[in-house]
Chains A and B, each alone.
Chain A
Amino acid sequence: KAGVTQTPRYLIKTRGQQVTLSCSPISGHRSVSWYQQTPGQGLQFLFEYFSETQRNKGNFPGRFSGRQFSNSRSEMNVSTLELGDSALYLCASSPDYYTGELFFGEGSRLTVL
């Protein structure tokens, strides 16, 4: 069974640009959540989607947005990039909303210059 796939794995952007990251969950998983990982802040929850609906959102500004498609694939978008957005963005999928067990992808490493 294929794992969680995130693309791109690495990307470099400049301040003010926008970026879109993609996540393909494990087949059959309907819940997808996103986390930002930085050395200073650790893992911070961005948002979680289940069956195309955003069920939870973390404390991030509106520049961070996401969506989930009918095939459970998810994208997150960050607009007007800031230097502080440089981080590893991790996507995790789960079989359903209430299992509490997450399966993580390898992440997308974003560098903002």
Chain B
Amino acid sequence: GDSVTQMEGPVTLSEEAFLTINCTYTATGYPSLFWYVQYPGEGLQLLLKATKADDKGSNKGFEATYRKETTSFHLEKGSVQVSDSAVYFCALWDNFNKFYFGSGTKLNVKP
């Protein structure tokens, strides 16, 4: 069945460092891919999405490219801020009826 695997955390970075959080997926069809972010004490918020291969989703300085050949959707940001500290979830929507979430990666950004 469909599934999402993302790197385990926590990831600890200094402010202004480069961020990469790896996400790979397994799918039988042509899914849409998402990154959601959960700030402390809050629910998840959509960060960015891509609906087909080679699409790049971007928001708030974060980017992720839908790579069908490597079945990946890695999250990147060139310069992280303390306010980016949160848990990041990679997710797959099978374009029919189900969402599959990764286990989440906690990011800690130190000043």
Contact = CB atoms under 8 A, between A and B. Distances in A.
A77 B42 CA distance: 22
A63 interface: no
A45 interface: yes
B97 A42 contact: no
A4 B45 CA distance: 11
Contacts of B43: 4, 90, 92, 104-107
A45 B4 CA distance: 14
Contact of B46 (A42, A43, A48, A102): A102
Interface residues on A, range: 20 to 34
Contacts of A56: 97-98
A33 B97 CA distance: 11
A97 B95 CA distance: 10
Please provide the 4 A-B residue pairs with the shortest distance between their CB atoms, ordered closest to farther.
Answer: A104-B43, A100-B93, A42-B103, A43-B101
B58 interface: no
A106 B101 CA distance: 17
